Amino acid sequence: MNHSADLDRVQTTESGSTLVHRMNNALQKNWKSIVVFIPFFWLLLFFLAPFFIVMKISLAEATIASPPFLPMIEWVDEGIMHVKLVFDNFAYLWEDPLYVNTYLNSIKISSISTLICLLIGYPMAYAIVRASHPAKHILLMLIILPFWTSFLLRVYAWMGLLSDHGTINNLLIYLGIIDEPFRLLYTHLAVYIGIVYSYLPFMILPLYANMEKLDMTLNEVAADLGAKPMTTFVTITLPLTIPGIIAGSLLVFIPATGEYIIPDLLGGGNVLMIGRILYNEFNANIDWPVASAVAIALLLVLVLPMMLYQHVQSKEIKA
C-alpha cells in the first residue's frame, strides 16, 4: 500500500512538472507576441480610434449646430437605419485651387527644408562620429540641448533675431553691409530658417546612429587601394548610410509638412501651409467636415513616404 501511494505521488509530481514545463515552453514561444501586443494595442487605441472619428466627421454634412455636423446614422423608423455619407467634402478639396496650392506649397517647403537639413546634418553627423570619445558626447549634448527649451520660445527668439530692428539687421548695419534694415521676418526665408533650425536634430541623430555602426576600416582599405576621398565616399560611405538618410528625411519631412506655428509666427500669414488651413477650417469657418477631409488627405499624402521607407527597410533586413 505504501509503495502504491509513493508511486502515485511520484506520478503526480512528474505530471505537475511536465505541465509547468509545457507552460514555460508556451510562454517562451509566445513572448514576442505578448510584447508586441502592448504597443499594438496602444496604437490601436490612440491612433486608429481618433483616425476613424475624424474619418466619420469628414463624411458628414456640415450644419449650424453643436457639433457642427449632422449624424451619419439615423433611425428613420423602427428597425430601419439610414446611413448618409457625404463625399463632397473630399471633392471640394480638388475643386477649390486654394487647397491644391496649399498642399503643393506645403510639400515644396517641407521638401526643400528636408534637403537643406540633409546637406547640413550629414557632415555634422559624420564629424561627430569621427570625433574623439569625450568630444563626441559633448557634440551630441549640444545637438540635443535645444530640446531643453520650449519649442514656442525658440520660435519667438527667431522672431526677435529676424525682425527689422533685430539682432541680425543691427549687426549687418554695424558692419556696414547694409544701410537700412533688410526684410527677413514674415518671409519664406524666415519660414525655411525656422523649420531647418527646429528639425535639424531629427536629421542628425538618425544619421549619427547609422554612421556609428559603419566599419571605418573600409575607407582605409579603399584609400590603400588608391581610391580618392570622393570616390570612397560615393562608393562606400554614401550607400551604407542610405537607411539613415531615409529615416532622417522622414522625421523632418512629415512634421514639417503639417507645421503650423513656424509659418504662422515667422511667415506672418504670408506663407500658407496646410496647418494654417486646418486651423482656419476648424476655428474660423467652423466647418469640421471639410477640416477633417483636409486632415485625412494630408495623412494619405504622408503615408506614401512612410510606406516607401518600410519597403526599403524590409529589403535591407532581408539582404
> Tens of pLDDT along the chain (319 residues)?
445 554 444 445 545 556 556 656 665 666 767 777 787 788 778 888 888 888 888 888 887 777 788 777 776 666 677 777 888 888 888 888 888 899 999 999 999 999 999 999 999 999 999 888 889 989 999 999 988 988 999 999 999 999 988 899 999 998 888 888 888 999 999 999 999 999 999 999 999 999 988 887 787 787 777 878 888 888 888 888 988 998 899 899 999 998 999 999 999 878 889 888 888 888 888 888 888 999 888 888 888 777 777 776 777 667 6
Tell me: do 204 and 121 sit in the same domain.
yes
pTM value is 0.81
Tell me: do 212 and 127 sit in the same domain.
yes
Tell me: do 35 and 160 sit in the same domain.
no
DSSP string, 202-231: HHHHHHHHHHTTS-THHHHHHHHTT--HHH
The length of the chain is 319
Tell me: do 228 and 169 sit in the same domain.
yes
Within a domain: residue 290?
A: yes
Q: Residue 232 in contact with residue 70, Cβ under 8 Å?
A: no
What is the rounded CA–CA span in Å between residue 145 and residue 158?
A: 16
Q: What is the pLDDT of residue 159?
A: 93
What is the rounded CA–CA span in Å between residue 243 and residue 237?
A: 12
Residues spanned by the domain of 249: 89-318
What is the rounded CA–CA span in Å between residue 219 and residue 63?
A: 65
What is the rounded CA–CA span in Å between residue 23 and residue 140?
A: 46
Tell me: do 37 and 164 sit in the same domain.
no
Tell me: do 209 and 278 sit in the same domain.
yes
User: Reduced to 3 DSSP states, what percent helix, strand and coil does the chain have, rounded to the nearest 5?
Assistant: 75, 5, 20
- Sequence-distant (6+) residues with CB within 8 A of 68 are 62, 286, 287, 288
Tell me: do 275 and 138 sit in the same domain.
yes
Q: Residue 244 in contact with residue 206, Cβ under 8 Å?
A: yes
What is the CATH number for 159?
Answer: 1.10.3720.10
Tell me: do 224 and 157 sit in the same domain.
yes
User: Where is the domain boundary, 58, 81, 101?
Assistant: 58
Tell me: do 8 and 142 sit in the same domain.
no
Tell me: do 38 and 154 sit in the same domain.
no
Tell me: do 41 and 168 sit in the same domain.
no
Joined together, the cell numbers standing for residue 164 give: 527689422
